[in-house]
Amino acid sequence: MTKNNKAKANIYSIAKEAGVSVATISRFFSSPDIVKETTGKKIIEICEKYNYRPSKIARAITTKKTKLIAFVIPSLKDPAFIEIIAGAEKLMSKKGYILCLFNTRQNLEREKDIIETIQSMNIDGVMFSGIYGNKEEEIFISNMQKKEIPIILVDRIIPGINLPYVMNNDYLGGQLAAKFLIENNHKKIGIITYSMKVYIFKQRVDGFLDVLNKNKMKESFIVEVPLEYNKIEEAVESEKQFLLKSGVSSIFCVADSIAIFLSRLLVENNVKIPKEISVMGFDNIIFSNYLIPRLTTIDHDMFSLGEAAAENLIYKLENGRFKNKSEIIDPILIKRDSVRKF
C-alpha cells in the first residue's frame, strides 16, 4: 500500500496484512481483551502505519477505556425520549464520549437480552431508562452491578437498587395539573394514563389524585392505555363511547402523546376543545404547541435531564465517584388554549 493509498486503508486491507479475518479485526475494535495480545499489537502497528484509527484503538488497549456509553431506553417512538437522547448525546460529544443506543421497544425480555449484551461489551458506563422503573428490572440491574459497570438511572427509580438517578418530579407535575384544573373551576375530571406499573406515570397520577382529595373531589374515571406508542390510538378509540358520554369537563392525560390522540378523537366526533371538554397533557413535546387548540401541559425539561445524567456518569468515569447521588428536576405549568375557565 503506497503513501497515496494510506487514506484508503479499511478493515479488509488491515485484516489482510495482519493475516487475520475481518471478524477478528471487528472483535478487536469492540472488545480488545478477547483478542490475543500478540495479534492485538500487530493490528495496532498496521493501523498506525496506515493512519487507520490508531489513537482510539491504542487508547482502548492501554487505558481499558473505550469512551463508549450505552444508553438503554424503552422507546424511540416517544418524543420525550428523543429529547433525553439529544441532551445526553450533546454532552457526551462535548466531553469526547460516544453514545451507543439500545431500544428495548417496551419488551421486558428484549430489555434483559440487551443488558446481557452490554455486559459482554467493552462499555465504560450505562445510562438506563427501563420500561417500568420498578421491581421488574431489579434483577437485571443487580446482575450488571456485580460486573462493576458504572450505571445511572434516567427518568426512572428502581426500588431496592442503590443507584444514582436523574429524573423529573413527576408527583409535583401531577399536582400542578390538578391545581390548574381546579383553579379553572373544573368539577368533573377524568384521567387517561399509561400503565401505572410504570413508576413515573403512577407518580403523576398520585400527585393529581392527592390534590383532588385535598379539595374533597374525586376523579370521574381513570382509563389505562398500553405502553406501546402504536397502540395508543386504538386504545383511546376503544373507549370512545365511554369518554364521550362521561360528562366530564376536563381530561388529564399523563403524556402529551395520549392527549394528542384524545384531541383527534374528540374533534372527529364534533366535540369542541376546550368549550365542551378541556384537555391537559404532560411532557410539553414539540408537537403540543402545534395542536389546534394548542395543548396546555406540564413541561419537564427532558433535554436537560439527558444532559444532567450524562454529565454525572462521565464525572464518575473520570473521577471515580458520582457527583450527585440524586438529581430531581421540577416541572413547570405551560398554559395554552386547551383548558377552559368556568
pLDDT tens, residue by residue, 5-27: 455 688 788 889 999 988 888 77
Check: CB of residue 288 under 8 Å from CB of residue 259. Answer: yes
Report if pTM > 0.95. Answer: no
Q: 56: pLDDT confidence band, cut at 50, 70 and 90?
A: low
Which triple of cell numbers denotes residue 262?
A: 384524545
Above 90 in pLDDT, residue 148? no
Q: What residue segments make up the domains of the chain, in order of their start?
A: 3-63, 68-168+302-330, 170-300
Of 115, 110, 107, 168, the residue nearest 138 (C-alpha): 115
Q: What share of the chain has pLDDT > 70, as a percent? A: 92
The per-residue pLDDT for 154 is 96
Q: What share of the chain has pLDDT > 90, as a percent? A: 63
Of 83, 137, 84, 127, the residue nearest 106 (C-alpha): 137
The per-residue pLDDT for 12 is 83
Check: CB of residue 83 under 8 Å from CB of residue 302. Answer: yes
Domain spanning 3-63: CATH 1.25.50.10: no
Mean pLDDT of the chain: 89
pLDDT, one tens digit per residue, over 81-102 is 999 999 999 999 999 899 999 9
Q: What is the secondary structure of 234-285 as a DSSP string?
A: HHHHHTHHHHHTS--SEEEESSHHHHHHHHHHHHHTT--TTTT-EEE-SB--
Above 60 in pLDDT, residue 55? no
Please report which helix (H) or strand (E) contains residue 113, including its range. helix 108-120
The per-residue pLDDT for 265 is 95
Q: 29: pLDDT confidence band, cut at 50, 70 and 90?
A: confident
Q: Angle at Cα 307 formed by Cα 306 and Cα 309, nearest 5°? A: 65
pLDDT, one tens digit per residue, over 302-326 is 999 999 999 999 999 999 999 999 9
Lowest mean pLDDT among 48-52, 57-61, 176-180: 57-61
Say which residue, 217 or 12, is predicted with more confidence: 217
Which triple of cell numbers denotes residue 241?
A: 363511547
Please report which helix (H) or strand (E) contains residue 99, including its range. strand 98-103
Above 50 in pLDDT, residue 40? yes
CA–CA separation, 302 vs 308, rounded Å?
10
CA–CA separation, 285 vs 6, rounded Å?
47
CATH superfamily name and code, 68-168+302-330: Response regulator (3.40.50.2300)
The per-residue pLDDT for 2 is 47
Lowest mean pLDDT among 157-161, 258-262, 312-316: 157-161
Domain 68-168+302-330 identical in fold to domain 170-300 = yes
Q: Quick one: CATH architecture of 170-300?
A: 3-Layer(aba) Sandwich (3.40)
Say which residue, 171 or 107, is predicted with more confidence: 171
**Sign (positive or negative) of CA dihedral 180, 184, 189, 190:** negative
Which triple of cell numbers denotes residue 109?
A: 425480555
Q: Angle at Cα 120 formed by Cα 70 and Cα 90, nearest 5°? A: 10
- Averaged over 62-90, what is the pLDDT? 88
Say which residue, 51 or 171, is predicted with more confidence: 171
